[in-house]
Amino acid sequence: MTLSPLLKPLAVAAALTLVPAMAHAQAQPDPLLSTFQSVCVATDGAADAAMAKLDGQDWQVLPPELLGADAPFDNMQARIKFEGEGMVIAMTGDMADEMGTLTDSGNVHMAVCAIGTMPGDYEAVDRVVADWLGMTPNTIMSTDGLRGYPYTLVNGRRQALPADLAEDELKALVESGQVRVVMTGDSDGVIMIMFMRPVAN
């Protein structure tokens, strides 16, 4: 699986909106994680609640039409914030799991909330995410420049999903509403942390 269909439009948006002199500045991973936790995790990926946390805090609306047909989500909302010579972007939306992120059939709908930065240090960001979750990447969901951390959420506690979980078992967990997924990705220099709340179709 690749995140290119998801992240490359963000690289386009960044190229349209950022100043050319951003090459050497990098957002630090811990503040990026903190933003992700407060905006995406605390709201359980609820779009309006996530965006409401950013409005009025120097975040600017990024119109979905800026991305045109390349917008990565349905019902997309996005905000952008410039920090020094770089930027941080926040997005929410809905997507069908047509890429088979969770299941072979891909018959899953996802509510997505994502926080990203350009430029950034992918390995550093992924490391603080893994440390926060207390997990290692799921081998089935991970490739170069993409690492997935699926887990169940029961009574507020996270438990990593095993990579060899059978399809019917995974579907049952999704249908129970217990599954959440955190993913980190790097596509053309856009470093992203994503929160996904899957719902069976």
> What is the pTM for the complete model shown?
0.83
State whether residue 170 is helix, strand or coil: helix
**What pLDDT, on a 0 to 100 scale, did the predictor assign at position 133?**
95
Q: Per-residue pLDDT tens for 121-161?
A: 999 999 999 999 999 999 888 888 899 999 998 787 899 99
As for how many domains the chain has, the answer is: 1
The parent domain of residue 71 ranges over 4-200
What mean pLDDT is reported for the chain?
80
Cβ atoms 94, 46 nearer than 8 A: no
Find, among 176, 165, 124, 172, the residue nearest to 141 by Cα: 165
Q: Is the pLDDT of residue 60 over 70?
A: yes
Q: What is the DSSP string of 90-128?
A: EEEEEEE-TT-SS-SS--EEEEEEEEEEES--HHHHHHH
Which band of pLDDT confidence, cut at 50, 70 and 90, is reported for residue 49?
very high
144's tokens: 């170069």
